[in-house]
């Protein structure tokens, strides 16, 4: 079996590609390297180009007629950038995806796994959400994901296309074999900031201690990227049965357990030798309390649940931070 992976040179797409290879599925990667890394495509079928390039997609399908499905990870993902340059985000995430879909349908590739996001849910007061929870994204980035889901569902209803949207929660960790991980040297999420604080000896700032959560700090659902990759394998294998005659479907991918920022710090300090000190700071404007998922649908339809612990995710993030500069040549930040 072959699978086309758009954005396969990025953080999540490269992990999905590695998991496919390990499982005997051949990944064919399409990536324009806007944020992805050539180093993550070594020894893999790799086409450098844009998802909206119809001639390139025709060439890929002519050269790999065995492709049975597309995993669509390619997107721009930086929330503040989407606020300052919304036109670019709608163009790249929505318009280019629409063009790509036409090329997929023309080439007879009708199974689409879409990288969606928990960012589409209405801000929660620290509780859990499931796939039926209200959709109300807070940023243009989140809205491009919600718009894509709606657009894909409409197209699936009127064409042979079938879509499973996988709504990722908060990916952490790296491929356990360290073939790839986060490209950024200084990731802006809480675990990235913790790793930075650990390295520099500066205290870690807990931003917001008055949220309506069990200890007042924000809550997230940290899912190991290798578990996400395993969920894609499960979704590829059970694509048709999971849809059960429907034309489109959404599935949340998280651990099912919320972790507060204070709990994340405690887990981090249980993994490292020299603990990180913390200082408390006010909420950052616009930061919601956060949410975690109820995972019943992923269990029932994909037979999937996360297998790695929070400590595993922290350890693998640290291991990756230790090798990142040697894997990525000429790396920026
Ligand atoms: N990382 C997260 O926290 C997170 C959470 C939820 C959902 N997602 C979704 O998962 C997907 C992958 O995210 P990631 O964290 O791996 O980001 P990433 O930036 O590492 O990967 C995106 C990849 O897509 C490529 N790309 C972007 N636009 C392209 C285009 N027009 N043509 C060809 N290639 C293009 C980039 O070069 C990059 O390799 C995205 O769709 C994102 O919205 C990510």
Interval between CA 12 and ligand 1 midpoint (Å): 7
Alpha-carbon span 157 to 105, nearest angstrom:
13
Phi-psi region of 124 (alpha: psi -120 to 50; beta: other; left: phi over 0): beta
Counting from 1 in the atom list of ligand 1, the atom nearest the Cα of 118 is 6
Q: What is the pLDDT of residues 240-270, one digit of tens each?
A: 999 999 999 999 999 999 999 999 999 999 9
Q: What is the pLDDT of residues 13-40, one digit of tens each?
A: 999 999 999 999 999 999 999 999 999 9
The answer on pLDDT for 332 being more than 80 is no
| CB count in 10 Å sphere of residue 78 | 15
Phi first, then psi: what are they for 51, rounded to 5°?
A: -65, -20
Q: What is the pLDDT of residues 163-209, one digit of tens each?
A: 999 999 999 999 999 999 999 988 889 999 999 999 999 999 999 99
Token readout for 318 is 């640290």
pTM of the model: 0.97
Q: What is the pLDDT of residues 59-113, one digit of tens each?
A: 999 999 999 999 999 999 999 999 999 999 999 999 999 999 999 999 999 999 9
The structure tokens 């650990």 sit at 198
Alpha-carbon span 284 to 51, nearest angstrom:
35
CA angle at residue 275 from 271 to 278, to 5 degrees? 120
34 lines ligand 1 (CB under 6 A): yes
Interval between CA 265 and ligand 1 midpoint (Å): 27
Contact between 23 and 30 under an 8 Å Cβ cutoff? The reply is no
Mean per-residue pLDDT, 202-221: 96
Contact between 101 and 147 under an 8 Å Cβ cutoff? The reply is no
Token readout for 214 is 């069990």
Q: What is the pLDDT of residues 109-141, one digit of tens each?
A: 999 999 999 999 998 888 999 999 999 999 999
Interval between CA 39 and ligand 1 midpoint (Å): 16
Q: What is the pLDDT of residues 270-323, one digit of tens each?
A: 999 999 999 999 998 888 899 999 999 999 999 999 999 999 999 999 999 999
Interval between CA 300 and ligand 1 midpoint (Å): 27
32 lines ligand 1 (CB under 6 A): yes
Interval between CA 45 and ligand 1 midpoint (Å): 18
CA angle at residue 265 from 191 to 317, to 5 degrees? 35
Q: Which residues contact 197 (CB under 8 A, 6 or more apart)?
A: 203, 204, 276
Name the residue of 17, 71, 75, 313 whose CB sits within 8 Å of the most ligand 1 atoms, as the mutation to test its pocket: 75
Selected catalytic residue, list 89, 121, 141, 211 = 141
Counting from 1 in the atom list of ligand 1, the atom nearest the Cα of 77 is 43
232 lines ligand 1 (CB under 6 A): no
75 lines ligand 1 (CB under 6 A): yes
Beta-bridge partner residues of 28: 4, 45
| Closest C-alpha to ligand 1, atom 7 | 117
Q: What is the dihedral of CA 6, 10, 13, 15, to 10 degrees?
A: 160
Please report the pLDDT score of residue 331 as a whole number.
Answer: 60
**Residue 145 pLDDT grade (very low, low, confident, very high; cuts 50, 70, 90):** very high
257 lines ligand 1 (CB under 6 A): no
Check if 141 is active-site. Answer: yes
Residue 48 CA: distances (Å) to CA of 41, 95, 257: 10, 19, 38
């Amino acid at each position: 079996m072959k699978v086309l992976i758009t954005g396969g040179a990025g953080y999540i797409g490269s992990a999905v590609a590695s998991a496919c290879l390990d499982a005997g599925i051949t990944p064919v990667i399409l990536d324009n390297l806007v944020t992805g890394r050539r180093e993550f495509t070594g020894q893999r079928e790799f086409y450098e180009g844009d998802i909206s390039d119809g001639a390139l997609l025709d060439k890929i399908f002519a050269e790999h007629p065995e492709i049975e499905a597309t995993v669509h990870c390619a997107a721009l993902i930086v929330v503040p950038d989407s606020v300052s340059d919304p036109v670019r985000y709608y163009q790249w995430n929505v318009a280019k995806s629409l063009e790509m879909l036409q090329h997929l349908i023309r080439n007879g590739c009708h199974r689409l796994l879409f990288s969606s996001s928990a960012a589409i849910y209405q801000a929660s007061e620290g509780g859990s959400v499931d796939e039926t929870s209200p959709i109300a994204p807070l940023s243009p980035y989140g809205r491009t994901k919600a718009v894509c889901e709606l657009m894909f569902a409409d197209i699936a209803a009127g064409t042979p296309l079938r879509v499973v949207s996988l709504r990722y929660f908060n990916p952490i960790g790296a491929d356990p074999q360290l073939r790839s991980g986060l490209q950024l040297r200084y990731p802006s999420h809480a675990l990235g900031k913790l790793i930075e604080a650990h390295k520099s000896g500066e205290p870690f700032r807990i931003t917001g201690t008055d949220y309506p959560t069990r200890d007042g700090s924000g809550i997230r659902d940290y899912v190991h990227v290798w578990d996400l990759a395993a969920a894609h394998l499960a979704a590829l294998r059970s694509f048709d049965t999971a849809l059960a005659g429907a034309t489109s479907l959404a599935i949340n991918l998280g651990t099912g357990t919320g972790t507060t920022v204070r709990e994340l710090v405690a887990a981090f300090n249980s993994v490292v030798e020299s603990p990180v000190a913390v200082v408390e700071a006010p909420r950052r404007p616009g930061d919601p309390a956060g949410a975690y998922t109820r995972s019943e649908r992923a269990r029932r339809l994909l037979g999937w649940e996360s297998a790695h612990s929070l400590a595993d995710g922290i350890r693998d993030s640290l291991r990756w931070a230790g090798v990142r500069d040697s894997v990525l040549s000429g790396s920026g930040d």
